[in-house]
């Protein structure tokens, strides 16, 4: 009896033939370990690759561009406009989507075709860590997921420790140029600014992506300006020059104009810790950082 109880206690979490419940309460049954997976968001694609599941992915959304191996994979539309026909043609045994973004009617059509759909919610760093664990569980990679989450959490805790007691400069994050668009406090990018020891200049705005006039920026006096857009890098590097015309801004006067790669801070995937470290180095260049890395 003791031996049986021991075995029951330490059975792996991946029990196939049973049901799995996602973040929206939808239940799926996986009779075997999924081998043909379609992902419905770039963040989900990155999560699966980070778990060593790239060889099982048979389709991704349009802007899934990391790692480079995604270039060879068939596309199934954007995460906001899924081609159900394209998904069906790939004959998946699992579709992994996002609760916040994928259209419900597309997900329901896929389910109607008897294809298991499992939703995660990686829109914050804690949500991303939970999503890694959930995806690891349903794909028989639970131990791999646990190790990865522990490494990412250690890096996060390290940065949190470094920011304790530091002054928090006022940060403007520019995500579009004309018109100037920034982010409010209900965004992943704002969370990164706070975790990196800064204050988001537009945190209290009601719109998630408010448009700002130059006059508003001059009035609010940001101490750091970080520029991140979807444009080509060559064009992006010229953006700080536009701000140099306004020496009345503390960020300009103190030479605190910076550029950051957009997908490092816009996708809740493992690389977000690279984005957080980059943000920390921009906001607090006076502090040495060595929080390790995540393979």
Cα separation of 241 and 245, whole Å? 7
> Which own/partner pairs from 54-62 qualify as long-range (CB within 8 Å, at least 24 positions apart)?
56/139, 58/90, 58/91, 58/92, 59/86, 59/87, 59/90, 59/92
Cα separation of 20 and 136, whole Å? 12
- Averaged confidence pLDDT in the chain: 90
- Cα separation values, 178 from 211, 222, 289, Å: 9, 19, 34
pLDDT digits (tens, 9 = 90+) for 201-226: 999 999 999 999 999 999 999 999 99
Residue boundaries of the structural domains of the chain: 11-140, 167-283
Q: By the 8 A CB rule, do 197 and 162 touch?
A: yes
Q: By the 8 A CB rule, do 172 and 201 touch?
A: yes
Contacts of residue 292, Cβ cutoff 8 Å, sequence gap at least 6: 151, 154, 155, 158
- Spell out a b/e string for 176-215, using b for 16 or more CB atoms within 10 Å of the CB, else e: eeeebbbbbeebbbbbbbbbbbbbbbbbebeeeeeebeee
Q: What is the pLDDT of residue 186?
A: 94
Q: What is the pLDDT of residue 13?
A: 43
pLDDT digits (tens, 9 = 90+) for 277-293: 999 999 999 998 888 77
Which CATH number is associated with domain 11-140? 3.40.50.1980
Mean pLDDT of 268-282: 96
Name which of 152, 269, 265 is nearest 198 in CA terms. 265
pTM: 0.87
Q: What is the pLDDT of residue 18?
A: 75
CA 114, chain centre distance (Å): 29
Q: Which residue has the tokens 């370990």?
A: 33
Cα angle: 102, vertex 120, 294; to 5 degrees: 120
- Identical fold for domains 11-140 and 167-283, yes or no, is yes
Q: By the 8 A CB rule, do 22 and 120 touch?
A: yes
Q: What is the pLDDT of residue 7?
A: 38
Helices 272-283 and 125-138 pack at an angle, to 10 degrees, of: 160
pLDDT digits (tens, 9 = 90+) for 117-140: 999 999 899 999 999 999 999 999
Cα separation of 74 and 60, whole Å? 6
Q: By the 8 A CB rule, do 142 and 13 touch?
A: yes
Percent of the chain with pLDDT over 70: 91
pLDDT digits (tens, 9 = 90+) for 20-74: 999 999 999 999 999 999 999 999 999 999 999 999 999 999 999 999 999 999 9
Q: For 167-283, which CATH superfamily applies?
A: Nitrogenase molybdenum iron protein domain (3.40.50.1980)
Phi, psi (degrees; rounded to nearest 5) at 253? -60, -35
């Amino acid at each position: 009896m003791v031996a049986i109880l021991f075995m029951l206690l330490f059975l792996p979490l991946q029990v196939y033939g049973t049901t799995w419940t996602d973040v929206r309460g939808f239940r799926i049954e996986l009779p075997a370990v999924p081998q043909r997976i379609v992902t419905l968001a770039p963040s989900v694609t990155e999560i699966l690759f980070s778990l060593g599941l790239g060889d099982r992915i048979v389709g991704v959304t349009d802007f899934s561009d990391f790692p480079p191996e995604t270039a060879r994979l068939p596309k199934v539309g954007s995460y906001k406009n899924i081609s159900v026909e394209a998904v069906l043609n790939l004959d998946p045994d699992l579709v992994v989507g996002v609760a916040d973004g994928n259209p419900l009617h597309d997900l329901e059509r896929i389910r109607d075709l008897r294809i298991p759909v499992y939703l995660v919610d990686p829109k914050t760093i804690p949500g991303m860590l939970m999503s890694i664990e959930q995806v690891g569980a349903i794909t028989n990679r639970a131990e791999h997921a646990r190790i990865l989450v522990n490494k990412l959490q250690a890096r996060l805790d390290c940065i949190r420790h470094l920011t304790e007691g530091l002054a928090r400069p006022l940060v403007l994050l520019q995500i579009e140029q004309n018109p100037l668009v920034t982010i409010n406090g209900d965004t992943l990018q704002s969370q990164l600014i706070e975790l990196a020891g800064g204050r988001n200049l537009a945190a209290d705005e009601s719109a998630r992506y408010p448009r700002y006039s130059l006059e508003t920026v001059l009035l609010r006096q940001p101490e750091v300006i970080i520029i991140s857009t979807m444009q080509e890098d060559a064009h992006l590097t010229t953006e700080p020059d536009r701000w140099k015309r306004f020496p009345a801004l503390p960020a300009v006067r103190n030479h605190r104009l910076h550029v950051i790669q957009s997908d490092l801070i816009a996708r809740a995937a493992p690389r977000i810790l690279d984005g957080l470290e980059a943000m920390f180095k921009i906001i607090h260049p006076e502090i040495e950082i060595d929080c390790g890395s995540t393979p």
